[in-house]
Structure 1
Amino acid sequence: MMGENMMAAFKNIFRRSSNSSTPTSVTREPKFMEIDWKGHEPQSSTSIRVLSMNDFSDVEGVLDHLRDRNNIIVLKVKPRLMQEKLELKRALKRIQRTCQAIGGDIVGIKEDVILISPPSVGIVRVGEIAESSQVSAKPEETVSE
């Protein structure tokens, strides 16, 4: 019974107009849609910041970008600070503690270059590449940390 009602509804939709002998035209939707990308800014975009650290006072600027949680920081340690070992150690310890507090990651690339990432971006070290490929090869196993 319900099938008969649906068939009648379909017949009414697709029947020809009684006034004309030609079928009614069907308007077609375009197959594509134009989008104005200028009005759509991403909610949160991650930026790569290249910063230099000349002395301990530059640490505060690094920490401000790190606390934003949307910045990957490439930190270049200047030779003047490399000579002041105690000041360099104190600055790096402060950056490391802040990075750990927000859930980010920090790694030395070269002797004078440090990479700091926010929580949303992980850093894979050379030794971890083999481990991560083994984990992805066996998804049924769980890895406890």
Structure 2
Amino acid sequence: MGAFEKLREKFFGEKSEELFDESASDYVEINTPELGSKTKVIVKPFVIHEFQDIKPAIDSLREGYTIGLVNIRPLKEKDIIELKRAINKLKKTCDVVGGDIAGFGEDWIVITPSFVEVHRHPTAPSLPSRPGSGSSDII
């Protein structure tokens, strides 16, 4: 009998072997997800001709793995009030899912899920006036 067995017998008594053997055989097996299965992010274009056309863009945004590039030009040329309504709906959906929305150019909007942030340039500093162009010249 080894030194550890003597100590175990003193502390736990004669049933110590049963105690340790039982705990070794009782366990719960947990299934872990495969590490190789990653969900890809999709960049998907959408064209908005009518207010109802935003539904696929909103549904894709809610799924969480789609960055939407939304062309708003057809609706802008057709009905500016419906365009504002559509953009407000997209903004509210982005707020709900924790995503981001930004316009680029005059005809495009990007909508992103929560793990994507749109980079915005800080406001550009005003350029100094050219010499000889007015009273603000420094001599």
How far apart are 1:43 and its partner, in Å? 2.4
Alignment: residue pair count: 90
How far apart are 1:80 and its partner, in Å? 4.2
Equivalent in the alignment of 1:48: 43
Equivalent in the alignment of 2:117: 122
Which of residues 45, 67, 79 is equivalent to 1:84? 79
Q: Aligned with 1:88: secondary structure?
A: helix
How far apart are 1:50 and its partner, in Å? 0.8
Q: If the length of structure 1 is used for normalisation, what is the TM-score?
A: 0.57
Equivalent in the alignment of 2:105: 110
Alignment of 1:32-71 (within 5 A): 42-71=37-66
Equivalent in the alignment of 1:101: 96
Assess, with a 3 A threshold, how the Cα gap between structure 1 residues 59 and 90 changes in structure 2: closer, same or farther: same
User: Unaligned stretches of 5+ in structure 1?
Assistant: 1-39, 129-145
Choose 1 or 2 for highest CA Rg: 2
Alignment of 1:8-47 (within 5 A): 42-47=37-42
Aligned-pair identity in percent equals 29
Q: Is the 8 A contact 1:55 1:81 kept in 2?
A: no
Give the stretch that moved more between structures: 77-86 or 89-98. Answer: 77-86
Q: If the length of structure 2 is used for normalisation, what is the TM-score?
A: 0.59
User: Which ranges of 4 or more aligned residues in structure 1 deviate by more than 3 Å?
Assistant: 80-83
